[in-house]
């Protein structure tokens, strides 16, 4: 439903998923935390009044839950995932220093252990934060890394490739000023 743009239905479905996971696994379980994370992503993408703040609070709850479940370390995929989500969230609300902080955490984890796609997403969040913080040369380096990944992994019409290309071109123009 979410990929079809029906965000209200997606929120409803993910909420039911949380209830199912809570009944089956209880709260202190990685699968339950994943359902809660998916619910927050659906709320954030819906973008209604108060949704962005609500999603941010839920992401923080998932962070706390996962940190309690898993010892923090550089090979912790699940924490990397929520750190990447928090980075994206803070960028959406314009808190770029916090976005960068969480992106750096996610990148550190995914460089050690994690799918290349997740690493690329975290690097993109880092590049976006650096761009908005005025660290143009750093952002270009990260956008180029993402672009190399995207060109080898996606077709030319893929939204990820479009986002990376657009930001990369903006950063290059900023550098020429």
Write the CB contacts of 59 (distance below 8 Å, at least 6 apart in sequence): 37, 40, 82, 85, 86, 89
Highest-confidence range of 74-78, 100-104, 150-154, by mean pLDDT?
A: 100-104
pLDDT range class, residue 77, cuts 50, 70, 90: confident
DSSP string, 81-129: HHHHHHHHHHHHTT-HHHHHHHHHHHHHHHHHSS-HHHHHHHHHHHHHH
Q: What is the pLDDT, as a whole number, of residue 24?
A: 80
The Cα 89–Cα 99 span in angstroms is 7
**Whole-prediction pTM:** 0.75
Tokens of residue 165, six digits: 């290309």
Q: Is the pLDDT of residue 1 over 60?
A: no
């Amino acid at each position: 439903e979410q990929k079809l743009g029906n965000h209200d239905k997606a929120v409803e479905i993910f909420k039911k998923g949380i209830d199912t996971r809570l009944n089956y696994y209880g709260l202190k379980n990685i699968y339950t935390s994943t359902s809660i994370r998916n619910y927050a992503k659906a709320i954030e993408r819906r973008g209604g009044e108060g949704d962005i703040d609500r999603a941010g609070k839920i992401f923080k709850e998932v962070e706390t839950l996962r940190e309690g479940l898993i010892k923090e370390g550089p090979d912790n995929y699940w924490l990397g995932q929520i750190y990447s989500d928090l980075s994206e969230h803070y960028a959406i609300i314009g808190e770029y220093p916090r976005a960068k902080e969480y992106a750096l955490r996610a990148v550190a984890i995914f460089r050690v252990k994690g799918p290349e796609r997740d690493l690329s997403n975290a690097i993109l969040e880092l590049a976006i934060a650096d761009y908005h913080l005025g660290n143009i040369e750093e952002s270009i380096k990260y956008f180029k890394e993402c672009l190399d990944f995207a060109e080898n992994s996606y077709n030319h019409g893929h939204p990820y490739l479009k986002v990376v290309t657009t930001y990369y071109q903006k950063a290059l123009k900023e550098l020429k000023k």
